[in-house]
Structure 1
Amino acid sequence: MFNRRPPPPPAAMPPVQSGPDYSGAIRSIATQASELGRGAAELDGVIEDVVAASSRQVAEIGQLASDMQAMVQSNRAIEASGNASRVAMGQARDAVAHVGEGVLGVVTSLRDVASAATDITQIALQTRLVAFNATVEAKRAGEAGAGFAVVAEAVKDLAAKVEQSSKLIMSTVTQLDSRIDSLAASITDNKDAAQHSAFHQALAQVEASVNEIVAATQRNLQTCQGVTAEVGTVATSVAASADTLKRVNANTRNFLKASENLAEITNECGAVTPDTPFIEAVQRGAARLSTALEDAVAQGRISMADLFDDKYAPVAGSNPAQVTTRFVALTDELFPPVQEELLAFDPKVVFCAAVDRNGYLPTHNLKFSQPQGHDPVWNAAHARNRRLFNDRTGLAAGRNERRFLLQTYRRDMGGGQRVLMKDLSAPITVQGRHWGGLRLAYSF
């Protein structure tokens, strides 16, 4: 028999390999998504500012065009008034010419009166001589001529009075003749004279001024019409640019949304990312607020109708505008403990506040709930409670019903100051009804 060799020992089994560890890759993707979101938010904010500036330019150019149209209308009114003034000046010149003719007729009549007065004076003088001779002859006649002497003496006295009156008429007529002759010279336009009358010189100066005003107005009209055409061209161009920028802004919003979705997907994979602690914290906070509100309803401290009140009443004199609702007293009591705790959760946290489904923020962190003062810029930074933040980020946070929502946005601090940050939100529900969301904003 052949000796049989013993069978070889069984080969050692290879060690069981565990599945590949993707957590590092996911964290890397999450980091890249975060940076991508940051860049997208920055780009979105810049384009948004340009769009806002373009919209203001469109409005300003529209106002400028309106002002130019008003200037055109004003210049046309001035032109019409100037033309009417020229017509009136021509009518005045014609009227003065008629008056001048009348004055010249008066001068002629006065000279006729003066001539008649001269004749009367001569007749009165001759009458006095006749009366004197009659008196002498009556004295020679003695008693027989006494009656005739009385008559002769009376005629002599009457002739003396007539002569005196005639001389007075001649003196007055001479003065009037001089004055009216001067008036006639002033208002009569003698085209053959080397120098026109003072009145017609003044009239000519007024006409020249009116003509210059009309000419200047016509030049202004041409300029205004040209500028209006240019403004219209610029307005069309700026409006087209604004529309293009709005489309670009919509595309950047899509890009931003994609980066936010990528960040959410990486966090949903179960790997621990830099955002994980904040996600867990905001979810715990939202759950605590949901429980607190449900307890308040169950205890009869507030009705569901009052808790979901969205008839926002303006706060008089507030700037920026603040509003109030029927549930602010309850949120002022219940929200601060949770919100202040999360505010201190990490040095990166900038604020923590709940908003309703319309972006209304009733109760903010204590440091952002200062009484408003006279400076709206200071108010915008320090009195942020009781305000509607119904922008893209605020509305999305208030209306999100998924486990969490991670957004990247620029926070408006007032006075043109904006801070880039992340915004995490988790839904708040009461008796199965979505009330809003708890927002946790933190820096990169």
Structure 2
Amino acid sequence: MIFKFGKAEKEPESVVVSSTSGMEHVLSDVARQASGLGKSSADLNGLIDDLAVMSSKQAETFKVLASEIDAMVRANLAIEEVTKASKASVQHARHTVEQIGNGVIAVTNNLSEVADAANEITQIALQTRLVAFNASVEAKRAGEAGRGFAVVADAVRELAAKVEQSSKLIMSTVTQLDERIKLLADNIQSRETGHSDSGKHDSFHAAVSEVERGVADIADTAQKNLQGCAGVLDSVRGLSDQVAGTATALQTARQRTEGFLSLSESLIEMTAESGAQTEDTPLIEGAVEAAAKICALLEEGVRSGALSEADLFDSKHKPIPGTNPEQFMTRFTPYCDQVLPEILEDILTWAPKIVFSVVTDRKGYIPTHNRKFSKPQGSDPVWNQANSRNRRFFIGRTETAAINNRKRFLLQTYRRDMGGGKHVVMKDLSVPIVVDGKHWGALRIGIQF
């Protein structure tokens, strides 16, 4: 319609057809551009998500590193405390040894007194022996009358000789002991700059001083470590905060790109619902028809008794032992494997750009996949990830939106994980599967750009 002031006139039919054609062309162009925007947004969203995950891991790594450095700081503090105690112990040992040295000197003085006493005894014994000798001579001169006195004089002389010998032995022993104790005293009392009489630098104080220097070096090193660790710890904590901030910023950016992605998907949906023909229209109509066939097959299975309604809506997914990535079985899996492959394989023939077609329940579980993605698992988990995708859970933004959608269809753009760190940006066309009025899940079709 063309509106003019005061009057409206109907355009000729040819003009209306031309306008309708032009509008469809515009809508198709909008859909195409929205699709491109979706592809770019999905790719950017995936890259930002990867960076966000990496930043989060780096932030955790920095936290662990900061914790380890903090442990090093605590260890150095402990070393510093121990070295302080060691210094005190060494000083106490030095003081104790000095006291021992003073005691040793007192011992040498006492030994000197012993030596003097022994020397005096020796002199007395010598004199006693001389007296006894003279008495013996006199007794012999007295003849028979002095015989008894002579015996006593000889005994005294022998005793004096023994006392003299013992005294000399004591003096010799005391002299040797005195020399050793004096040497010990010299070693104990000498400082690290002093030398013993033998010219050797082997004093106890020298050893103690070496220990003191070693303890001081340890304390200095621990102090330097503390200063260095403190600086590094501050830097690491600063970097950790920066990386954490980056991760938060990336998550925010990812949420914004998801907004662009949702906008592009809404534009595509609006153009499709407007009736305008786009490159996705045939696939959308085919998907709606295929989903209707799948619903009919599942309803027929319940009606025929091939499986009960409880079996069809079984939510107990049992792990299959020895699978990696882990696969699961439900009571409806065998029936899906029996009746769905023909439909799912036929979908792959619609267009070369169709990569996969699957059904998924409300929990994101895929019982049946295309044959090329349903190969038996091998020993390589990376290979299994790409080739054994049936009987597994796939739950992400795209999958969650698909299985929760109750509109006629949902066309999304996402980045598909192919395993081994490989990704590809694709479209996900999904249609709800409703069995006897109950939402069972969805048909999902993966489409290349």
- The more displaced of 189-198 and 362-371 is 189-198
**Aligned residue for 1:180?**
181
C-alpha distance in 2 between matches for 1:149 and 1:324:
128
Q: Which aligned pairs between 1:262-301 and structure 2 lie closer than 5 A? A: 262-301=267-306
The 3 A distance-change label for structure 1 pair 372 and 175 is farther
8 Å contact from structure 2 (residues 191, 205) kept in 1:
no
1:19 partner SS? helix
8 Å contact from structure 2 (residues 195, 202) kept in 1:
no
1:407 partner SS? strand
**Aligned residue for 2:428?**
423
Unaligned runs of 5+ in 1: 1-13
8 Å contact from structure 2 (residues 59, 243) kept in 1:
yes
The 3 A distance-change label for structure 1 pair 30 and 157 is same
Q: Which aligned pairs between 1:117-196 and structure 2 lie closer than 5 A? A: 117-190=118-191, 193=194
**Aligned residue for 2:256?**
251
**Aligned residue for 1:63?**
64
**Aligned residue for 2:385?**
380
8 Å contact from structure 1 (residues 79, 214) kept in 2:
yes
**Aligned residue for 1:434?**
439
8 Å contact from structure 1 (residues 285, 338) kept in 2:
yes
> CA offset at residue 167 of structure 1?
2.4
Question: 1:103 corresponds to which letter in structure 2?
Answer: V
1:274 partner SS? coil
Question: 1:381 corresponds to which letter in structure 2?
Answer: A
2:389 partner SS? coil
The 3 A distance-change label for structure 1 pair 164 and 324 is farther
The 3 A distance-change label for structure 1 pair 329 and 123 is farther
C-alpha distance in 1 between matches for 2:190 and 2:317:
80
Q: Which aligned pairs between 1:9-408 and structure 2 lie closer than 5 A? A: 17=14, 19-20=17-18, 21=21, 22-190=23-191, 193=194, 198-314=203-319, 318-408=323-413
**Aligned residue for 1:443?**
448
C-alpha distance in 1 between matches for 2:373 and 2:391:
11
> CA offset at residue 49 of structure 1?
1.9
C-alpha distance in 1 between matches for 2:317 and 2:159:
109
2:278 partner SS? coil
2:407 partner SS? coil
2:142 partner SS? helix
Unaligned runs of 5+ in 2: 1-10
> CA offset at residue 411 of structure 1?
0.6
- The more displaced of 316-325 and 351-360 is 316-325
- The more displaced of 98-107 and 336-345 is 336-345
**Aligned residue for 1:9?**
none
2:279 partner SS? coil
Identity %: 52
> CA offset at residue 25 of structure 1?
3.6
TM-score (norm 1): 0.88
C-alpha distance in 1 between matches for 2:290 and 2:52:
37
RMSD between aligned alpha carbons?
2.7
The 3 A distance-change label for structure 1 pair 320 and 116 is farther
- The more displaced of 217-226 and 334-343 is 334-343
8 Å contact from structure 1 (residues 188, 197) kept in 2:
no
Question: 2:46 corresponds to which letter in structure 1?
Answer: G
> CA offset at residue 297 of structure 1?
2.8
The 3 A distance-change label for structure 1 pair 164 and 336 is farther
C-alpha distance in 1 between matches for 2:320 and 2:188:
74
C-alpha distance in 2 between matches for 1:192 and 1:59:
55
8 Å contact from structure 1 (residues 97, 189) kept in 2:
no
The 3 A distance-change label for structure 1 pair 332 and 259 is same
- The more displaced of 401-410 and 123-132 is 123-132
